[in-house]
Structure 1
């Protein structure tokens, strides 16, 4: 039996068909990241809010208001727990020799807090508004996250009453 020889035209046509088939079914495109769930969106917002609150407390503490350290530390504990429930991109690593970012507050949060003059009255109002908003945020949350958010709101309500009247 004689081997079948294909013409150049037949080979090129077959190769073109194979390339077309390969490109049509080519490698899978990476899937677009899934959008955040409503719970994750809420948690990320609460994390950002806590960072701003901590920055405000830190600003007053750096000015000598040491009485506020326990309040700030409770907010830091809230922030640490919230971060366990959601993955948030980590801040960029500082280049050698440059100042490292604060581990508790983003530079944007610190700038926002410094833009407005910190005061006890502002802290008290911030705590009051935060506590009032927690109950509205509970709808649609998983039971564990709802319990965490409610506990944070209770702590914020206690801060409104417990904050010192003067420094």
Structure 2
């Protein structure tokens, strides 16, 4: 059987390659400098994105309530949930880091940085909740802090329940 390579040879070469790659990877990580190629960490980026999203969602619920979309009590409760989520996200920001990368609001802005868009009915709000909930797994996977991942996941679970209840309303 000339030309065949034994399984032991292949496994030995593979194991040696893995050890060598691990050593190179370990050595490249040596040093005291904390290097990150971006101005903000993935955690801060996700938090800022979620904060902007929650502000828009609260504005949408407020618009729907002002337009008399029913059931008003249910929508008011969901708006309160989103405000609580927003508070939790703001508290999760590292000390000295603001909720936005922009230092000032642009001229002509209403100061909130949110545009609720066109008024939504119950079906539109259900879609907003469903889309938001579906993005939470990716956001939770993108953060490095386990507590933050848990917060993002819990928010997604709450949004999924909102979508279900709005579907039944």
What's the TM-score bracket when you normalise by the shorter of the two chains?
A: 0.5 to 0.7
Of 134, 137, 140, which aligns to 2:139?
137
1:89 Cα deviation after fit: 5.5
Of 120, 123, 138 in structure 2, the residue corresponding to residue 121 of structure 1 is 123
Return the offset for 1:59. Answer: 0.3
Assess if the C-alpha contact under 8 Å between 1:120 and 1:165 holds in 2: no
Relative to structure 1, the CA distance from residue 89 to residue 124 in structure 2 (aligned partners, 3 Å threshold; closer, same or farther) is closer
CA distance in 2, matches of 1:75, 1:138: 18
| 1:64 Cα offset (Å) | 2.5
| 2: CA distance, partners of 1:84 / 1:119 | 31
Q: Is residue 124–residue 159 contact of structure 1 (8 Å, CA) maintained in 2? A: yes
Residue 163 (structure 1) aligned with residue 166 (structure 2): yes
TM-score by length of 1: 0.64
2:66 to 36, 42, 62: 62
2:154 to 148, 151, 157: 151
TM-score by structure 2 length?
Answer: 0.63
Q: Which runs of 5+ in 1 are unaligned?
A: 1-33, 94-99
Runs of 4+ in structure 1 over 4 Å off: 89-93
1:85 to 92, 95, 107: 92
Q: Highest CA radius of gyration, 1 or 2?
A: 1
- Closer/same/farther in 2, CA of residues 47 and 145 from structure 1, 3 Å limit: same
Aligned to 1:48: 52
- CA RMSD in angstroms comes to 2.4
Q: Distance in 2 between matches of 1:155 and 1:56?
A: 17
